[in-house]
Structure 1
Amino acid sequence: MTRFAGGPADSPGFLLWRTTLRWQRSVADALGPLGLTHVQFVLLACAWWLNKQGQQPNQVTIAAQAATDVKMTSEVLRRLESRGLVERRPDTRDTRAKVIVVTDAGAALALRAFKVVEDADAAFFGDASVPLMEELRRLANFGVEATSDSAGGAGDVQPAGTDREAG
């Protein structure tokens, strides 16, 4: 017997599952005309952001930023590289690794994709209230020890402009 007498509609986990699937579908639909999958967009966006911050990330750093599997990240980055959106360059700090650099074409596509994803988010979430954003951050951080990594990756999720060490 479940503790949710009203069935799945009373289960927060089920509601989050359904909401996530619908949100992912709306983002995928928005990105389709740009020729990007959702995961390609996320990894391109993370690489772009890290490059913009002056970093030269490798695939492990990008995977941590995106909270994705390293092997899957590698496969997706190869696909982005084959399309000329990113380049893999030798890492001067570790000869076994490659740094990921977003090309001009990749940066241009990322900027276009940011707009369509932000529009899709606005259509899906409406005017996301401060309490909703705070709750989403709380849930995103649930069970994750706060880190002080500069990538803002697999550690805590902080709003823009906050001191990561304070949280």
Structure 2
Amino acid sequence: MEPDDSPGYLLWRATLSWQRRITATLAPFSLTHVQFVLLASLWWLDREGVRPNQLTLAQHADTDVKMTSQVVRRLEDKGLLVRETDAADTRAKRLRITDTGRVLAQEAIAAVEAADTAFFSAVPDRDALLTTLRPLAGRRD
């Protein structure tokens, strides 16, 4: 078997190429990829009227809870979100995206979507691509 006949190897190479493109896309926003994912997730949850705690955000983004906590602190330091004590449970912190965070999230999401469109344009059937990727990503929808 040749490397180009190995789905795992090809997926690895495609992932690395895509990650480099996303890293370059996010550089002007001063966001790492994981910061972007968490900020975008918070923006999406906020848009749905959800004020998540860090655990809910980590579950939504499918990220490690401890790492999420560290990244949330960095996003808070940048003024992109605020951690507020939950009135129902003073041990918990609810996350609220700031106006600055909301604007940055929307701009970064648009840039990442454009980068995704350009990257995946090599695949002629977008619907088939999504149908293939969903089960690999653990999604059933």
TM-score between the two structures when normalised by the length of structure 2 = 0.94
Cα distance 1:128–1:73, how it changes in 2: closer, same or farther (>3 A)?
A: farther
Once the two structures are superposed, the pairs formed by residues 13-162 of structure 1 within 5 Å of their partners are 13-126=8-121, 128-141=125-138, 156=139, 158=141
Identity of aligned residues (%): 54
5+ unaligned residues in a row in structure 2: which ranges? none
Corresponding residue SS for 1:92: coil
Distance 2:25 2:43 in 1: 20
Runs of 4+ in 1 over 4 A off after TM superposition: none
**In the alignment, which residue of structure 2 is the partner of 1:151?**
none
**In the alignment, which residue of structure 1 is the partner of 2:6?**
11
Corresponding residue SS for 2:52: coil
Provide the alpha-carbon RMSD of the alignment. Answer: 1.2
Distance 2:33 2:6 in 1: 27
Distance 1:32 1:103 in 2: 20
Q: Specify which structure has the higher proportion of helix.
A: 2
Aligned length: 139
TM-score between the two structures when normalised by the length of structure 1 = 0.80
Give the CA deviation at 1:89: 0.4
**Which digits, 9 at most, give the CA deviation of each residue in 1:96-142, with x for residues without a partner?**
1100100000000001001110110011001652111101112112x
Give the CA deviation at 1:93: 2.6
Give the CA deviation at 1:157: 5.4
